[in-house]
Amino acid sequence: MTAENTAPLPLTLEQANLVIEHATAKAVQDGVPPLTVVVLDPSGHLIAAQRQDGASMFRFDVALGKAWAAVAMGMSSRELAARAQDNPNFFVALAATGHGRFLPQPGAVLVRDRGGALLGAVGASGGTGDQDEACCAFGVTQAGLQ
C-alpha cells in the first residue's frame, strides 16, 4: 500500500483533549466567558468535551450542534451560517433532518491532518460566535492539526 492509499490516522482522545486544553486557555487569556468545547470524529461522534467552570448547561448542546453541522457538511459553521442566509428553507430542513443536532452558527471549525484529510470538528459555545471560533481554531493549531 502506498502513502497515497493509506487512510488518515483517526483523531485520538489525547489530541482532542489537547485541542480543548488550548481552546479553553485561549478563552481565559482573551477574557471570553466560560466555554464548553466539544471534539467530534468525522462521523459526528463525540471524542471529548469539557465545560469550563461557570459555563451554562445549554452550552454543551450548542457547541455540539455547531461541530456536528460543520462535520456533516464539511465546512466551518461560519460558512454554513453564511449559506443559510441565502437558502433558509434548506437549512431548516437540514436542522429537522439532523433531529436538532444541526446548528449553522459561527463557533466550529473542521480538523484536518497535515495532508488535508478530514479528522473531525471542534465546536465551542460561551462567547460570541467569533470568540468561540477563534478559540477552536487556536486549539486545533496548537495541537499540531489544521
3-state DSSP assignment of residue 145: coil
Dist CA 16 CA 62 (whole Å): 18
Q: Return the pLDDT at 101.
A: 84
pLDDT more than 90, % of the chain: 73
Domains of the chain: residue spans and CATH: 9-142 (3.30.450.150)
CA atoms within 13 A on the CB side of 101: 16
pTM: 0.90
| Model confidence band, residue 88 (pLDDT cutoffs 50, 70, 90) | confident
Burial class (CB in 10 A: 0-12, 13-18, 19+), 103: buried
Residue-wise pLDDT for 46-81, tens only, equals: 999 999 999 999 999 999 999 999 999 999 989 998
**For residue 21, is pLDDT > 80?**
yes
36 within 8 A of 51, measured Cβ to Cβ: yes
* Residue entry with cell 433532518: 97
